[in-house]
Chain A
Amino acid sequence: MTGLFIGLFGYLAATTGISIYTGRMDREKTAKGFIVGNRNFGSIVTAFSMGTTLASGFAFIGLVGMGYTLGLVATWQCIWGTILEFICWYFLANKLYKLSKKTDVFTPIEAMSKLYGDPHNLIKICGGLIIGLFIMFYLAGQFTAGAKAATVMNLNPVGVAIAIAAFTIIYIFVGGVNAAMWTNAIQGVVMMLSFIVLVFMALSKVGGIGGLFASLSTEAPSLIQWNNGRTNGAAMFYICNYWLGSALGFLAQPQALQKYLTIKSDKKIRESCVMSSIFNIVRQLGPVTIGMCCRIIYPTLGDPETAIPVFIVDHLPNVLGGILMAGIFAAIMSTTESLLLQSTSELSRNFLQRGILRNKNISEKSYGTICKVLTILVGCGGLLISLFGSGGVFTMIIFAWTGLMTSVGPSLYLGLYWKKCTSQGILAGILTGVPATSIWYYCFKASTGIHEAVSVVVPIAAVIVVSLLTQNVKQEENWATQL
């Protein structure tokens, strides 16, 4: 067990060092320096940073549990995930990058406010506030996931949640986007190597792929069936409702879209997209395979979501195990960093600087300081929700993923590609996304059995209806046709 801790703390020390070093690379202490840095990140850093932002603790905790309990059908997370991630890159990356370069916008919400103008700054104020605060709950879910992984190592879960929050705040506070991007990239490499090693180790314990399928065919045949033992019609509904619904968030997560604004050049976008897709496949097929193997190795595991930590503690109680265990915390911390940075950016840039404080004479350097103060406040806020919130916090992470997409996605896609879209329509989409998802999740999901992702039709309808109703309102700008 000592070896595990040496590996784990060695990893944490290394990422802290990288954070401090990369933070010094860009000494610009303005809000711009903090949020988008020098826009000089290459395709590899962008791809891994994007991947780790989207991966979160769900990859090592939730998806492994799904592989354990559901088997082969959990590969649909990878199937939908990679297709939807490609759609996001294909339709949004180039246009957001160009818009960001031409108009000097720093965040996805600010980009939306630029498309057709933002007459009363309502897109920036409402969008910045909704996304900034909603991400805080997502953040809380990540801290809770870290605490869950820690219990397997007999560590104090509260202490681990506090440690993850403290390290994340330090990374962002010291280095802003530079530290977040570089540590995310390193964490991505650690995650990828962890999955590769763990998949080979787990398969070797069950006699390879042939042994795995032979064992599962007697243990639970539905685990190696594409339809999970359902009739074909029921299976198709299940795959489209549950798995497509779960993956729909890949279409537009603001913390991932942010990476498009920081890439070095639009010529790096497609290269980065390919690398991100490879990473996506490894981090989604890997956990499912490990989960299926653990079903054979630990047939009576109390909590299937702890399969990876239990496997590491049992089979690799040494420094290598510590580094692999660090992969779990890498997944959690990389997502937390991006979430924290995104929340801070949306609140400081859109809600404060370009929103309610736009008429105040506050210097750029002061906004840089405000960003840092907000980093501490948002990080502590997320930690408090995680520590003192009700049991619904971990559940919140699941629908926060969808809620963020429904708020940003319809307005962004329609704003960029539908010629009749207006700034009023964009605002309507932002305002209706989170409430629609929340209402469906809490009031209709249990009774209908339909995933909350279906609520995306509400913001889509809102953008279309309001845009059509405001065709006569003169728009301040029209960047969508110039990208």
Chain B
Amino acid sequence: MFRYIGFGEILNIFVLPFIGFACCLIWYLRHRKEDRE
């Protein structure tokens, strides 16, 4: 598939859609201890 796409497309498929999820995950992990108490 990489023969047909460039850097912009790779970002669109593999990186950008997961930014929101990464933010959620960081938020969750940073407060995991206090959430478990």
A75 touches B16 (CB 8 A): yes
CB contact under 8 A between A226 and B9, given known A79-B16, A213-B1, A270-B35: yes
A225 touches B24 (CB 8 A): no
Measured in the bound complex, the distance between the Cα atoms of B27 and A277 in whole Å is 12
A83 touches B28 (CB 8 A): no
CB contact under 8 A between A79 and B8, given known A210-B1, A273-B27: no
Measured in the bound complex, the distance between the Cα atoms of B11 and A379 in whole Å is 43
A459 CB, min distance to chain B CBs, angstroms: 24
Q: Which of B1-37 contact A (CB under 8 A)?
A: 1, 3-6, 8-9, 11-13, 16-21, 23-25, 27-28, 31-32, 34-37
B20 CB, min distance to chain A CBs, angstroms: 3
Set of chain B residues within 8 Å of A75, measured between Cβ atoms: 12-13, 16-17
Set of chain B residues within 8 Å of A276, measured between Cβ atoms: 24
CB contact under 8 A between A225 and B9, given known A79-B19, A270-B35: yes
- Residue in A closest to B27 when the chains form the complex, CB atoms: A270
Binding site secondary structure of chain A: helix
Set of chain A residues within 8 Å of B13, measured between Cβ atoms: 72, 75
- Residue in B closest to A267 when the chains form the complex, CB atoms: B35
Set of chain A residues within 8 Å of B34, measured between Cβ atoms: 267
Annotate A266-297 by CB proximity to B: 1 below 8 A, 0 otherwise. 01101101101110110011000000000000
* Chain A residues within 8 Å of chain B by Cβ, number: 38
Measured in the bound complex, the distance between the Cα atoms of B28 and A267 in whole Å is 10
Interface centre among B3, B5, B16, B17 (most CB of A within 10 A): B17
A274 touches B4 (CB 8 A): no
- Residue in A closest to B35 when the chains form the complex, CB atoms: A267
Question: Which listed residue, B11, B12, B27, touches A90 by the CB 8 Å rule?
Answer: B27
A271 touches B8 (CB 8 A): no
A475 CB, min distance to chain B CBs, angstroms: 31
B4 touches A83 (CB 8 A): no
Question: Which listed residue, B4, B6, B9, B31, touches A270 by the CB 8 Å rule?
Answer: B31
B8 CB, min distance to chain A CBs, angstroms: 4
A55 CB, min distance to chain B CBs, angstroms: 15
Measured in the bound complex, the distance between the Cα atoms of B20 and A231 in whole Å is 27
Assess whether A366 is interfacial by the CB under 8 Å rule: no
Question: Which listed residue, B4, B16, B35, touches A224 by the CB 8 Å rule?
Answer: B4
Annotate A235-275 by CB proximity to B: 1 below 8 A, 0 otherwise. 00000000000000000000000000000000110110110
- Residue in A closest to B28 when the chains form the complex, CB atoms: A270
CB contact under 8 A between A281 and B8, given known A213-B1, A274-B25: no
Measured in the bound complex, the distance between the Cα atoms of B12 and A213 in whole Å is 14
Question: Which listed residue, B1, B5, B21, B27, touches A278 by the CB 8 Å rule?
Answer: B21
Interface centre among B3, B6, B27 (most CB of A within 10 A): B27
Question: Which listed residue, A78, A85, A90, touches B17 by the CB 8 Å rule?
Answer: A78
Set of chain B residues within 8 Å of A284, measured between Cβ atoms: 17
B8 touches A213 (CB 8 A): no
Assess whether A89 is interfacial by the CB under 8 Å rule: yes
B33 CB, min distance to chain A CBs, angstroms: 11
A81 touches B21 (CB 8 A): no
Set of chain B residues within 8 Å of A280, measured between Cβ atoms: 20-21
B17 touches A79 (CB 8 A): yes
CB contact under 8 A between A82 and B4, given known A224-B9, A270-B27: no
Assess whether A86 is interfacial by the CB under 8 Å rule: yes
Set of chain A residues within 8 Å of B24, measured between Cβ atoms: 86, 89, 270, 273-274, 276-277
Q: Which residues of B contact A (CB under 8 A)?
A: 1, 3-6, 8-9, 11-13, 16-21, 23-25, 27-28, 31-32, 34-37
A-B contact pairs, 22 of them (CB 8 A): A72-B12, A75-B12, A75-B13, A78-B17, A79-B17, A79-B20, A81-B20, A83-B20, A213-B4, A214-B3, A224-B4, A224-B5, A226-B8, A226-B11, A268-B35, A270-B24, A271-B35, A277-B20, A277-B24, A281-B17, A284-B17, A285-B17
